[in-house]
Structure 1
Amino acid sequence: MALGSSRRTVLVTGAAGFIGSHLVDRLLAENFEVVGIDSLLTGDLTNLTSANRDPHFHFQMGDVREPLNVHAEVIFNMACPASPVHYQHDPYATLTTSVVGAQRLIDQARGMRSTIVQASTSEVYGDPTIHPQPETYWGNVNPIGPRACYDEGKRAAETLLVDAKRAWGIDTRIVRIFNTYGPRMAFNDGRVVSNFIAQALTNQPITLYGDGRQSRSFCYVDDLVEGLLRVAMLPTLDGPLNLGNPQEFTMVELADTILSLVDSASELMYLPLPVDDPRVRRPDITKAKDVIQFEPAVELREGLSRTIENFRSRLAL
């Protein structure tokens, strides 16, 4: 798949979601015909406002768990609730979207010889005992905990995709996405960046869990989308690939940064740590650097500033 070629058709499942909608915009800018599918379980049609003005974008209401009838040379599978608030609200739908959805897309790719780029997650590593996390790490996941519907759903989807490649030669590519943020994040998704920004802008207490010293690594959405496109353009990809920003910050550091950017009167409020919440999370992106020359370009303060302005406009502050 070469950028700038004659229009080729790409299918994006979960197109109305946070990352999915940014991916749609980028694909349209790169001259692709784009079909977007979303059940709107957690997606938001306002995320596709710009895309819907483009005659080369075609949106369909649909569920990735149902048979799809779209001919596309490349499929980006972004369909699945991805924040704890959303995926724990309906754990059955979360797990089946990952597993049955992957099965449906494999069936389609098998008949049409499509490439599948699978949006997997750093959550497959669970609460890691190795830090940072390389793709060779098998993870430390509780299979029956409150996060298992997402963690194990994504792990099972990876298994299906790898076995489809082994059994039938289907071109499947697995990307393990680490914490990503940016404009269009949902206010109520429970993710730490959206929580902190919304709380700071409205002068509500900033909710920290545990001692606030657990760490995360935050990748701006434009950098993540660039990595996804580079993965799709490869002749092939063997094994999973981490995508994220390896710069690591504690939750207290993130809160302090957001408070300084917003000039907020919010105070810090400490709450108990949720069950199975990982204490550390940072990607080893050595493979991404070698294979797709991936290097995040947007620093945290710059990305947060852009996200804050987007939240401010949507909150009409």
Structure 2
Amino acid sequence: MKRVLITGAAGFLGSHLCDYFIKLGFQVIGMDNLITGNLKNIEHLFPLEHFEFHHHDVSTFVHIAGDLDYILHFASPASPIDYLKIPIETLKVGSLGTLNLLGLAKEKNARILVASTSEVYGDPLVHPQNEEYYGNVSPIGPRGVYDEAKRFMESITMAYHTHHGLDTRIVRIFNTYGSRMRLNDGRVVPAFMGQALRGEDLTVFGDGSQTRSFTYIDDQIEGIYRLLMSNYHLPVNIGNPDETTILEFAEEIIKLTGTDQKITFKPLPKDDPLQRQPDISRAKEILGWEPKVHRSEGLKKVYEYFQSLSSEELSKNHRDFSANK
């Protein structure tokens, strides 16, 4: 039985990856320090023989007994609220955490996939964004703690690949949505839906002309798995090229939820990207992957998930957000 270590296992993406690999028959080791993750996301896995959980911060030395075939490094805050609140921890998990896991992969002769992000492109001057574009990022801006952590992650991963011959993969993840997202994490899908469910007006930053592209969780997980199992070591965009403006998206959420909320506007945060759309030509060619779930279908599923939350959870999750990420 193949063994896989998934860091950030109690988070949104990490928990879905744990489910996916369990269903494929892997021995799954989940690791999380729970600084932003939630054990509720993986508690259904605890009784399973082929799942184990380690409460650990990967920014410190990581030890796993026995053989290890794969490592998926998804331990990082991913929302503006989180990484602006804990900037040092965000930088450490992208740098020290990645270094520790690359060392573990080298020790175990394991293949490692690291989770990068579309944020490495910053506020892009190229549209849509392909993997050859180097980005437009401010290292000292408020978002730099996240953007530069991911850019360093890519650099050190490539260094281990070229210098040590380590078997590496780099996925650049674009906006992804699905069940288990936190309503208060600052990302646009749960933020808008949370506001609609609480009967609040939807908050759009800037004039709403900035664009985003949203990928449903099932498509994202499938793309990550295909990349892991490929023979390709350079970065690959995994995202949905179906681009929409934030204002159009807010109107779409109001129509979906059947609410009569208005849209209110706030100033655009510093360094907030004005365009975000992946060029997925590489994923199509190398992985045979492209998204299958249409946004209307995916959003309906996510709305049903958020509707299932108790009023207490909705209230507990309420917090202002800082950007339409």
Answer whether TM exceeds 0.5 for this pair.
yes
Distance in 1 (CA, whole Å) between partners of 2:69 and 2:300 is 36
Q: CA RMSD in A?
A: 1.0
Distance in 2 (CA, whole Å) between partners of 1:72 and 1:229 is 17
Q: Please list, as runs of the form range in 1=range in 2, the aligned pairs for 1:60-71 lying within 5 A after superposition.
A: 60-70=54-64, 71=67
Q: Is the 8 A contact 1:11 1:34 kept in 2?
A: yes
Structure 2 counterpart of 1:265, from 239, 260, 268: 260
Q: Is the 8 A contact 1:243 1:285 kept in 2?
A: yes
Structure 1 stretch displaced more, 150-159 or 67-76: 67-76
Distance in 1 (CA, whole Å) between partners of 2:267 and 2:146 is 22
Letter in 2 for 1:86: D
Structure 1 stretch displaced more, 203-212 or 258-267: 258-267
Structure 1 counterpart of 2:233, from 227, 233, 238: 238
- Residue 174 of structure 1 aligns to a residue in which SS? strand
Distance in 2 (CA, whole Å) between partners of 1:50 and 1:231 is 27
1:17-46 per-position Cα deviation (integer Å, ceiling 9, x unaligned): 001001110110111110000000100011
Q: Is the 8 A contact 2:167 2:233 kept in 1?
A: no
Distance in 2 (CA, whole Å) between partners of 1:192 and 1:15 is 22
Distance in 1 (CA, whole Å) between partners of 2:48 and 2:290 is 30
Is structure 2 residue 125 aligned with structure 1 residue 129?
yes
Q: Please list, as runs of the form range in 1=range in 2, the aligned pairs for 1:1-317 lying within 5 A after superposition.
A: 7-70=1-64, 71-234=67-230, 236-316=231-311
1:244-294 per-position Cα deviation (integer Å, ceiling 9, x unaligned): 001001111111111111111221000000000000000000000011111
Q: Is the 8 A contact 1:14 1:77 kept in 2?
A: yes
**Where in structure 1 are there 5+ consecutive unaligned residues?**
1-6
- Residue 285 of structure 2 aligns to a residue in which SS? helix
1:104-125 per-position Cα deviation (integer Å, ceiling 9, x unaligned): 0111111111111110000000
Distance in 1 (CA, whole Å) between partners of 2:295 and 2:263 is 20
Q: Percent identity?
A: 46
- Residue 308 of structure 2 aligns to a residue in which SS? helix
Structure 1 stretch displaced more, 255-264 or 65-74: 65-74
Distance in 2 (CA, whole Å) between partners of 1:188 and 1:157 is 26
Deviation at 1:314, TM superposition (A): 1.4
Distance in 2 (CA, whole Å) between partners of 1:103 and 1:246 is 32
Distance in 1 (CA, whole Å) between partners of 2:3 and 2:302 is 30
Letter in 2 for 1:21: S
Structure 1 stretch displaced more, 108-117 or 34-43: 108-117
- Residue 46 of structure 2 aligns to a residue in which SS? helix
Letter in 1 for 2:9: A
Distance in 2 (CA, whole Å) between partners of 1:55 and 1:297 is 32
- Residue 40 of structure 1 aligns to a residue in which SS? coil
- Residue 120 of structure 1 aligns to a residue in which SS? strand
Distance in 2 (CA, whole Å) between partners of 1:202 and 1:264 is 10
Number of residue pairs aligned between Structure 1 and Structure 2: 310
Deviation at 1:80, TM superposition (A): 0.2
**TM-score scaled by structure 2?**
0.94
Distance in 2 (CA, whole Å) between partners of 1:258 and 1:55 is 41
Letter in 2 for 1:58: E
Structure 1 ranges of 4+ moved more than 3 A: none
- Residue 194 of structure 1 aligns to a residue in which SS? helix
- Residue 136 of structure 1 aligns to a residue in which SS? coil
Deviation at 1:53, TM superposition (A): 3.3
Deviation at 1:52, TM superposition (A): 2.1
Distance in 2 (CA, whole Å) between partners of 1:315 and 1:89 is 26
Distance in 2 (CA, whole Å) between partners of 1:49 and 1:182 is 18
Distance in 2 (CA, whole Å) between partners of 1:107 and 1:185 is 31
